Amino acid sequence: MRHRKSGRPLGRNGSHRRALFRNLVTALLRHERIETTEAKGKEIRSISDKMISLAKQGDLSARRTVLAYLLDSKVAMRLFSEVAPLFSAIEGGYTRLIKTRVRHGDGAPMVIVELTKRTSLTPHDKGVEAKVTGGKGLASLAAGKKERASDTASAAA
């Protein structure tokens, strides 16, 4: 019986699972958006939210805890300097899961795990002037693309 056992085993032993989560959380905080399976995404969502909450505290103990968990110290420093200030007014819900597709081969449901507010733009968002998106970020990106389209149309005329 599986009573009082939290978390998903994901077909791995405990040390492999912890290493997987550390890799995924480090990648999420580095790129601010990753694609993974739905089960893995649901598991790393809580871990990454805890890392951002620790970064918002900003004290020495929080820094040491984050540095002990993340695999890259540059990502940890970026978390404290760039990512944590974005979420200073929010008390949770730092990540979102967006269901994307079913993976060919094994039929695993895939999701995009991303931060709700982002500091950098993705490669397809180049040319958008705003550096920080959040809240209604997709709407503001679409508005920026419409403005560029109207600018090119007026320049062509």
Task: Mark whether 130 and 111 lie in a shared domain.
Answer: no
Contact 60, 44 (CB under 8 A): no
pTM for the whole structure: 0.75
Burial of 141 (C-beta count, 10 Å sphere; 0-12/13-18/19+): middle
**Could you list the residue range(s) of the whole structural domain that residue 149 is in?**
121-157
Task: Mark whether 111 and 152 lie in a shared domain.
Answer: no
How far apart CA 46 and CA 39 sit, in angstroms, is 12
Using DSSP, state whether 9 is helix, strand or coil: coil
* Tens-level pLDDT at each residue, the chain (157 residues): 989 888 888 899 999 999 999 999 999 999 999 999 999 999 999 999 999 999 999 999 999 999 999 999 999 999 999 999 999 998 989 999 999 999 999 999 999 999 999 886 555 554 443 344 455 444 454 555 555 555 655 565 5
pLDDT of residue 131: 45
Task: Mark whether 133 and 112 lie in a shared domain.
Answer: no
Task: Mark whether 71 and 38 lie in a shared domain.
Answer: yes
Task: Mark whether 35 and 86 lie in a shared domain.
Answer: yes
Task: Mark whether 12 and 85 lie in a shared domain.
Answer: yes
Task: Mark whether 11 and 49 lie in a shared domain.
Answer: yes
pLDDT of residue 2: 87
Task: Mark whether 26 and 4 lie in a shared domain.
Answer: yes
The domain tally of the chain equals 2
- 45 to 22, 39, 108, 124, 157: CA distances (angstroms): 12, 10, 18, 25, 49
Question: Which CATH number do you get for residue 83?
Answer: 3.90.1030.10
Task: Mark whether 150 and 88 lie in a shared domain.
Answer: no
Question: CB under 8 Å to 71, separation ≥6 — which residues?
Answer: 22, 23, 26
Task: Mark whether 104 and 146 lie in a shared domain.
Answer: no
Task: Mark whether 10 and 72 lie in a shared domain.
Answer: yes
Task: Mark whether 37 and 103 lie in a shared domain.
Answer: yes
How far apart CA 30 and CA 67 sit, in angstroms, is 14
